[in-house]
């Protein structure tokens, strides 16, 4: 099944989505698709399906720019990133193919579930004990390697189907399952997201769900404005930032639920 892309997401609208999405992502240190998809459906006027496709494409430049500081500070486990990519590239193709077939309403409710998980995780970060784990050094065991490939597969399917970045899946997975320190988990996830976004966007382009030029505008503008949001974030206490981000997700959740319920009305 393929769909024709429409022209509702004009370059000015795309720039606005990039400004708001990039600023929020930088300000709260999270975001990606979990911020971009609701913006694309509300400000951009896209369907849930196209919003997922545009979000995945727009994540690519942000992942490239965002991974540079982690690489320069040796906060990326390249072996783990490679294992994640093995599963994630395959998963992104599967997820993107499902995106062209899954009913629109089901997609929206699945994204509602992602928002709920994001709220719970953000509040746990705000009120939970700070993590104190370190990454294990050396090559992963055969079992750990298989586990990382499996984690990458889940990350890729979620990215291709829902347009979210790998952080919502890979970061908590690497921390909980493989004792990665938070910074190392984020850096490894970002690097693995680059080929993941490429493979999923390739399928979405063939299915005519995304205009690459418009998606590039969103990603480029978001990458620039994320620096401004990140600069502002240094003045916010971490707990306050987490609570504010949870409030933002609650607002996005309410919007998504409202739109999903509207589709059931005559």
pLDDT one-digit tens code per residue, 81-125: 999 999 999 999 999 999 989 988 888 888 888 888 878 877 776
Q: Compute the Cα dihedral for 245, 249, 250, 255 and give only its sign.
A: positive
Q: How many Å apart are CA 230 and CA 62, to the nearest integer?
A: 13
As a whole number, mean pLDDT of residues 202-227 equals 89
Sequence-distant (6+) residues with CB within 8 A of 187 are 67, 70, 71, 73, 75, 76, 77
Contact 250, 122 (CB under 8 A): no
Question: Is 25 contained in some domain?
Answer: yes
Question: Is 207 contained in some domain?
Answer: yes
Question: Given this model, what pLDDT does residue 21 score?
Answer: 79
> Could you read off the pLDDT of 11-54 as tens digits, one per residue?
888 898 888 877 777 666 555 677 888 888 888 788 889 999 99
Question: Is 2 contained in some domain?
Answer: no
Range of the domain at 115: 11-262
> Could you read off the pLDDT of 132-153 as tens digits, one per residue?
444 445 567 888 889 999 999 9
Question: Is 59 contained in some domain?
Answer: yes
Does 222 score more than 70 pLDDT? Answer: yes
3-state SS, the chain, equals: CCCCCCCCCCHHHHHHHHHHHHHHHHHHCCCCHHHHHHHHHHCCCCCHHHHHHHHHHHHHHHHHHHHHHHHHCCCCCHHHHHHHHHHHHHHHHHHHHHHCCCCHHHHHHHHHHHHHHHHHHHHHHHHCCCCCCCCCCCCCCHHHHHHHHHHHHHHHHHHHHHCCCCHHHHHHHHHHHHCCCHHHHHHHHHHHHHHHHHHHHHHHHHCCCCCHHHHHHHHHHHHHHHHHHHHHHCCCCHHHHHHHHHHHHHHHHHHHHHHHHHCCCC
Question: Is 212 contained in some domain?
Answer: yes
Answer whether 0.85 is exceeded by the pTM: no
Work out how many domains the chain is built from and give that number.
1
Average confidence score pLDDT of the chain = 81
As a whole number, mean pLDDT of residues 147-172 equals 87
Question: Is 3 contained in some domain?
Answer: no
Question: Given this model, what pLDDT does residue 2 score?
Answer: 45
Question: Is 193 contained in some domain?
Answer: yes
Question: Is 170 contained in some domain?
Answer: yes
């Amino acid at each position: 099944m393929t769909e024709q892309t429409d022209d509702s997401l004009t370059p000015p609208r795309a720039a606005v989505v990039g400004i708001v999405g990039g600023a929020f992502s930088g300000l709260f240190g999270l975001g990606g698709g979990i911020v971009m998809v609701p913006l694309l459906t509300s400000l951009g006027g896209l369907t849930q399906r196209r919003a997922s496709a545009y979000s995945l494409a727009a994540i690519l430049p942000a992942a490239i720019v965002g991974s540079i500081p982690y690489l320069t500070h040796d906060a990326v486990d390249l072996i783990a990133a490679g294992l994640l990519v093995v599963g994630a590239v395959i998963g992104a193709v599967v997820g993107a193919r499902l995106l062209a077939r899954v009913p629109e309403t089901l997609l929206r409710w699945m994204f509602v579930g992602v928002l709920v998980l994001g709220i719970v995780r953000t509040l746990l970060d705000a009120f939970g004990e700070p993590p104190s784990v370190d990454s294990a050094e050396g090559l992963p065991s055969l079992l750990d390697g298989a586990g990382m490939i499996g984690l990458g597969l889940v990350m890729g399917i979620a990215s291709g189907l829902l347009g979210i970045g790998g952080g919502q899946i890979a970061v908590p997975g690497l921390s909980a399952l493989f004792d990665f320190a938070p910074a190392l988990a984020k850096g490894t996830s970002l690097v693995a997201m680059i080929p993941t976004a490429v493979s999923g966007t390739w399928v979405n382009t063939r299915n005519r769900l995304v205009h690459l030029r418009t998606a590039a505008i969103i990603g480029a503008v978001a990458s620039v404005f994320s620096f401004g949001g990140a600069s502002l974030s240094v003045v916010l206490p971490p707990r306050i930032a987490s609570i504010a981000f949870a409030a933002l997700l609650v607002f996005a959740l309410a919007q998504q639920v409202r739109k999903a319920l509207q589709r059931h009305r005559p």
